[in-house]
A = this chain, B = another copy of it.
């Protein structure tokens, strides 16, 4: 059931849980201005309708020993749907690849990768990624630092649109 209308309270709930996914329902209900039971029912509904896809702890990858993060821009020889799917399946089997986005233009995929050290990544790059079938070229860039990271969606922009409807 993808189609569903969100009121300002729903959007506030999403914004709050996006910022703090472990907030108690009591605290959440207080912040959005309704009592706990209907608040919980709304959260459940947002989960069921797919607005909330999941909850995750964000961990410090570097502190956990993954010193290296890399963006890999991949070009394929064939963009036939079956070849794209084959590549995607392969990507899903590589634990060092955390994200994979299919793009338009020169670059077909952008992969966000992590690794304990550079040599581990280099080995993955040459032995797995570059030598995978249908891969025409890979350009990589090391992440020096992460300047901004905000989960999901800018709800202030969403509010501005919703209220102007």
Contacts and interface: CB of A to CB of B under 8 A. Distances in A.
A76 to B, nearest CB: 13
Contact of A64 (B69, B150, B158): B158
Tally of this chain's copies: 2
Most buried by B among A22, A65, A116: A22
A2 interface: yes
Tell me if A's interface is mostly helix, strand, loop or mixed: mixed
Interface residues of A, number: 64
Contacts of A21: 21-22, 54-57
Given A101-B71, A109-B147, A153 B64 contact: yes
A143 interface: yes
